[in-house]
Structure 1
Amino acid sequence: MTQTSAPVAQRLFRHRSPYALTEPKYEAAIELLSSAIAHGGPIAAVIGIAGGGTAPAEQLATQLGVPVSHLAARHNSSDALYVQATGTVTVTVPASFPEALAGRVVLVDDICGTGTTFTAVTNALAARLTSDARVDTVALCRNVGSPTRPSWWVWDVDDWVVFPWEPRPDIPVRPLALPERVLTP
């Protein structure tokens, strides 16, 4: 387990109502992301950042026909709505994780809120990356307050997002739009 702390940008929450990602729109986003990632060249592995990156990493790896591994990274102090990032990320790499990562490695998370999680995970994996390794990052959503832009993402958001694998809050939610394209830096 590694822990990193750094000053962190604040995510932007307009507090209108949380966005909700429906299952059909999620599936459409996975299709778009899979196609975009495949055009970037051969992929050695997909790594899901648990919890939110687990499901999309599994689906992307299946569609791309590559192995998937998972690790855990904890950034928020709780799962409550509208919690700001702390700047402290704890990364836990399981014993079963590959010792060496070569070629193109794709890190997957549900949201890039500040970019700190992607940075912490990449740093935690640094000793396992071979000299030819390249790390790309993928998120379903990117908070517009984030200074970091993943390699690929589908939605820019300015409020909290509830993903299909999370419980619905007891307040009104608004749907994310049907995805039409993948965003890149």
Structure 2
Amino acid sequence: MTHTPAPGAQRIFRHRSPYLLTEPTYGPVIELLASAVAHAGPIAVVVGIADGGRAPAQQIAALLGVPACHITARHNSSDALYVQATGTVTVTVPDGFPEALGGRVLLVDDICGTGATFAAVTDALADRLAPDARVDTVALCRNVGSPARPDWWAWDVDDWVVFPWEPHPDADARPLTLPERILTP
């Protein structure tokens, strides 16, 4: 399935230097996000948006004691730093993905750049959502250029972010510090 969002949404990159989410900060922020989600009520399943949302989804699901699965969504033309998203998101539902999803379904991604990925994945899952299903969203980061806001996120960012599972850039990177609180709309 392919999804094209409304025109105009574009990520902001100040080009100072990329942010770096380090392992020592990553673990505690996952715990903070899982706690915020749990405080809002029970989750039935966590869906990681691959590739960037796979690891955080697995860890949040483990902390919540619920199953996790993944779905693939792609809209960047490459993994190079400072590449703007194409605006067109291609979603692939893998074999073995649940046929029906009910209760609260938590979509997890590493970053909400424009909101297009969350929208495309939600659209792709529409036929699998039971009448009682509710989709909530979590991102580690939200780009300040995004008109969309996940239900929970840890940082607003105005530059590229390098996550622990990605190769570190040659450029100096600014470590993200543990947030004082989890952000919500």
Q: TM-score, normalised by structure 2?
A: 0.98
* Alignment correspondent of 1:174: 174
Moved more, 128-137 or 174-183: 174-183
- Aligned mates of 2:116, 2:164 — CA distance in 1: 23
* Alignment correspondent of 2:113: 113
User: 5+ unaligned residues in a row in structure 2: which ranges?
Assistant: none
Deviation string, structure 1 residues 134-162 (Cα, Å, up to 9, x no partner) = 00000000000000000000000000000
Letter in 1 for 2:184: T
Is 1:82 the equivalent of 2:107? no
- Aligned mates of 1:4, 1:178 — CA distance in 2: 33
* Alignment correspondent of 2:157: 157
* Alignment correspondent of 1:4: 3
Q: Residues 168 and 94 of structure 1: is their aligned pair in 2 closer, same or farther, counting only changes over 3 Å?
A: same
Moved more, 60-69 or 174-183: 174-183
* Alignment correspondent of 1:60: 60
* Alignment correspondent of 1:103: 103
Letter in 2 for 1:168: H
Report the CA distance between 1:4 and its aligned residue. 1.4
- Aligned mates of 2:28, 2:157 — CA distance in 1: 17
- Aligned mates of 2:2, 2:113 — CA distance in 1: 18
Paired residues of 1:18 and 1:161 also in contact (CA < 8 A): yes
Letter in 2 for 1:9: A
Number of residue pairs the alignment of both structures matches: 184
Report the CA distance between 1:8 and its aligned residue. 4.7
Letter in 2 for 1:179: P
SS in 2 for 1:87: strand
Letter in 1 for 2:51: G
- Aligned mates of 1:4, 1:119 — CA distance in 2: 8
- Aligned mates of 2:95, 2:21 — CA distance in 1: 33
Q: TM-score, normalised by structure 1?
A: 0.98
Root mean square deviation of aligned Cα: 0.7
SS in 1 for 2:167: coil
- Aligned mates of 2:68, 2:90 — CA distance in 1: 21
Percent identity reads 75
SS in 1 for 2:15: coil
- Aligned mates of 1:115, 1:178 — CA distance in 2: 23
Is 1:91 the equivalent of 2:86? no
Paired residues of 1:71 and 1:92 also in contact (CA < 8 A): yes
Letter in 1 for 2:137: T
Letter in 2 for 1:4: H
SS in 2 for 1:141: strand
User: 5+ unaligned residues in a row in structure 1: which ranges?
Assistant: none
- Aligned mates of 1:155, 1:39 — CA distance in 2: 19
- Aligned mates of 2:24, 2:54 — CA distance in 1: 18
- Aligned mates of 2:2, 2:85 — CA distance in 1: 14
SS in 1 for 2:11: coil
